[in-house]
Structure 1
Amino acid sequence: MNDISMQDRYGTLAGPTVLVIKRLLPGPIERAWSYLMDSDLRSRWLASGEITPEVGTSFELTWRNDSLTDGPGSPRPEGFGAEHSLACRVLAIDPPRRLAFTWGTSAEVVFDLKEQGNQVLFTITHSGVAERAMLLMVSAGWHAHLDTLLAASTGSPRPDFWTEWTRLKAEYDRRLPT
C-alpha cells in the first residue's frame, strides 16, 4: 500500500531550479534499486540504457514513452518524437541507496532510496532546470514516470502515460510559481 497522500505525490521546489518528488514503493530496497539500475526493468517505467555503476562513466538513456502504457494509449503531444535519447555521466553511486548523474549538459538527477518498514522511499531530486517551461515538462514527466514505476512494481495496470503527462503538466502549471 502506498501511503503517501495525494498532496505529497506532487513534486515540490527545493529551490528555483530544484524539483523534489517522492514515492513509496514495495520493498525490499534491493528490488527498488533493480528498477533503477536494470535497463530492462527501467525501460518499463522510464528509459532504457546500460549504466555502469562507477563514478565518471558515461551512458545514454533512451525514452520510448509510447510503450509505457498498457493498452492502446493516447497520441503523444505535439513536439515529442517516438524516441528520445540523452547523454549522462555517473556522478555518485552508493548501491542500493543513491545514484546521481548528469542530465545532459546543464542539469543533474539524484535518486535516493531509503527503507521504511517493508517499503522504500524513492526520492528524485532534479536540479538545474532554469526555464519554467522545461520545469513544467520535467515535473509532469517525473510524476508520470513515478506513477508508472509504482504500477509496474506492484503489478497494477500502468496508466496512459501521455494522458497523465498532459494532465499533470497543466496541474504543475497551476502549482509551481511563475
Structure 2
Amino acid sequence: MNDLAPRDAYGVLTEPATLTIQRRLPGPVERVWAYLTESDLRRQWLAEGEMELKLGASFELVWHNDALTTPPGTRPEGFGTEHRMRSTITALDPPRLLSITWGSSGGVTFELEPRGSDVLLTVTHHRLPDRNMMLMVGAGWHMHLDVLVARATGRETEPFWDGWVRLKQEYDRRLPA
C-alpha cells in the first residue's frame, strides 16, 4: 500500500483470507489512538463500547450505523438498527498497536505509524472465512474508515448505507472470486 493512503484507498488481500486497508489521518498518534479505544470517539465512526486497555480484556462493541451520517442512507435488507459483538484484546502496545477478536470472522489489528504531522492507520482483518464475508468486511471497513477520516478532518462523507452498498459492489469487482 502506498504511503499516502488516500481517503478512497481500497483494501487489498495481503494473504488469501486477510484484508488490509490504510488511511492517513491528522495526528498526533495519541489522537488517532483515542478514536480507536475511547467509546465516545469510536462510536462516531465505528461502534461504541467501553474497553479496558488490558491484554485479555473482554468488551462489547455496539454498532448504530444509522447514526454515523446524516442522512444514513437506505439500510440494506437483513441489517438491523443495532448490532452487538463480543471481543477480546489479543495484543496491545499503546499507542501503536491494538489487536482484537472479531466475532466469528477472525481478528482485527490496528497499527498506527506517525508520518510527520499525520498518522498512517493500517487495519488488518485476519482469517476471513469466505468471499462473502470479505466483501462485507471490505465495504464495512472502507466506509467506516471514510467516516473516521471525515470526523478527524471536519469533512462530510456520503450516507453510510449508500456508501456501503456501493463499496460492496466495488469490492465484488476487485477481489478475486
TM-score (norm 2): 0.95
Q: In the alignment, does 2:45 pair up with 1:33?
A: no
Tell me the alpha carbon deviations over residues 109-162 of structure 1, each in whole angstroms, 9 at most, x when there is no partner. 000000000000000000111211111000000000000000001111242100
Residue 35 and residue 5 in structure 1: after superposition, are their counterparts in 2 closer, same or farther (change >3 A)? Answer: closer
Q: Describe the SS at the equivalent of 1:113.
A: strand
Tell me the alpha carbon deviations over residues 79-132 of structure 1, each in whole angstroms, 9 at most, x when there is no partner. 100000011000011111000011114500000000000000000000111211
Work out whether residues 7 and 146 of structure 2, in 8 Å CA contact, stay in contact via their aligned partners in 1. no
Paired letter, 1:45 = W
Work out whether residues 7 and 149 of structure 2, in 8 Å CA contact, stay in contact via their aligned partners in 1. no
Residue 121 and residue 99 in structure 1: after superposition, are their counterparts in 2 closer, same or farther (change >3 A)? Answer: same
Distance 1:58 1:15 in 2: 27
Q: Describe the SS at the equivalent of 2:168.
A: helix
Question: How much has 1:3 moved relative to structure 2?
Answer: 4.1
What residue ranges of structure 1 are gaps of 5+ in the alignment? none
Q: Which residue of 2 aligns with 1:159?
A: 158
Distance 1:106 1:29 in 2: 28
Q: Which residue of 1 aligns with 2:57?
A: 57
Q: Describe the SS at the equivalent of 1:53.
A: coil
Residue 106 and residue 137 in structure 1: after superposition, are their counterparts in 2 closer, same or farther (change >3 A)? Answer: closer
What residue ranges of structure 2 are gaps of 5+ in the alignment? none
Q: Describe the SS at the equivalent of 2:92.
A: strand
Aligned residues: 175
Counting only pairs closer than 5 Å after superposition, residues 107-126 of structure 1 correspond to structure 2 as 107-126=106-125
Work out whether residues 89 and 99 of structure 2, in 8 Å CA contact, stay in contact via their aligned partners in 1. yes
Question: How much has 1:6 moved relative to structure 2?
Answer: 6.7
Paired letter, 1:62 = V
Distance 2:112 2:130 in 1: 28
Residue 174 and residue 114 in structure 1: after superposition, are their counterparts in 2 closer, same or farther (change >3 A)? Answer: same
Distance 2:7 2:24 in 1: 12
Question: How much has 1:72 moved relative to structure 2?
Answer: 2.4
TM-score (norm 1): 0.94
